[in-house]
Chain A
C-alpha cells in the first residue's frame, strides 16, 4: 500500500518567518495528496490538496506542489502568523483507487512566537 513520511517536529518559528514542512510519499500511481491542520483542542481540517502531478494546492497563504519526480508534497508559507500554530498532517489514500481511507504522517507541530 501507499505510505507517507513527514518531517519530525516541533518546528518553532518567529512571526513572519518562512515555513517549510517536508512530506514525501510512496504510492502506486498518482493518488491525491492532502495537508490537514489540527488547531489546539480541535479535530482535523482539510488545509489543501492536489489531485494530480504538478498541481499546486493553496489555502490561507499555504502552498504545496505535487512533485512526482521527487515524490514530495512539501508545505510552505511565506510569512507565518501566531494563529498558524497547530499540528500539520500530510496524507494520501491507502490505495490509489478510491477507498475512503487515508494514511497520515505522524504530524508536525508548529509553534509560532510573536
Chain B
C-alpha cells in the first residue's frame, strides 16, 4: 500500500513549456485534489475531483488542467508554464465514507519556472 504517490519530485521548466504532474493513489479513494503551497499563503486548492470523469475548479485554477479517467490517477497539466507557477504542488485523496474530510497527501512536487 503506497498511499498517494507523486512524480516527479523536482522539476525545472522554462517559461512557455508544458508538463504534467502525476498523482496516483491505491486506496480506492473517490475524492482527489491538487493544491499549491506558497510561502505565507498556506495551501490553495487548484482542482479537485469527486470521482472518475468528474472534475471541478478550486480557488486558483487558471493555467492548469486536470482529467480523471480512472479512480487511481489524477494528473495536473501545465499548458504554458509561467514564473508565477513556481511552487510546491501537493496531491491529496480522501474517501466517501464517514471520514470523507480526512485527506491523505503525497510527498509533493517542487516546480521552478524560469
Pick the residue among A32, A42, A106, A107 that contacts B101 (CB under 8 A).
A32
Stretch at the interface among B12-20, B77-85, B105-113: B105-113
The answer to whether A46 touches B101 (Cβ under 8 A) is no
Pick the residue among B41, B50, B102, B105 that contacts A106 (CB under 8 A).
B41
Assembled-state Cα–Cα distance A45/B92 (Å): 11
Assembled-state Cα–Cα distance A47/B43 (Å): 16
A13-56 residues at the B interface, CB under 8 angstroms: 31-32, 34, 36, 42-46, 49
Assembled-state Cα–Cα distance A100/B97 (Å): 10
The answer to whether A43 touches B102 (Cβ under 8 A) is no
Q: Verify if A101 is at the interface (C-beta below 8 Å from B).
A: yes
Pick the residue among B40, B41, B105 that contacts A44 (CB under 8 A).
B105
Q: Verify if A104 is at the interface (C-beta below 8 Å from B).
A: yes
Assembled-state Cα–Cα distance A34/B101 (Å): 9
Q: Given contacts A100-B30, A100-B33, A100-B48, are A45 and B105 in contact (CB under 8 A)?
A: yes
Q: Given contacts A42-B107, A43-B107, A43-B108, are A100 and B42 in contact (CB under 8 A)?
A: no
* Range of interface residues on A (Cβ < 8 Å): 20 to 34
Pick the residue among A31, A44, A100, A106 that contacts B94 (CB under 8 A).
A100
Q: Given contacts A43-B90, A98-B100, are A107 and B42 in contact (CB under 8 A)?
A: yes
Chain B nearest Cβ from A37, distance in angstroms: 11
The answer to whether B106 touches A43 (Cβ under 8 A) is yes
Q: Given contacts A43-B107, A104-B42, A106-B40, are A98 and B101 in contact (CB under 8 A)?
A: yes
Chain A nearest Cβ from B105, distance in angstroms: 4
Pick the residue among B43, B92, B107 that contacts A89 (CB under 8 A).
B43
Chain A residues within 8 Å of B, Cβ to Cβ: 6, 31-32, 34, 36, 42-46, 49, 89, 93-94, 98-102, 104-107
A-B pairs with beta carbons under 8 Å apart, 25 shown: A6-B42, A31-B101, A32-B101, A34-B102, A36-B105, A42-B108, A43-B90, A43-B105, A43-B106, A43-B108, A45-B105, A46-B103, A93-B101, A94-B45, A98-B96, A98-B100, A98-B101, A99-B50, A100-B31, A100-B33, A101-B33, A101-B48, A104-B42, A104-B43, A106-B41
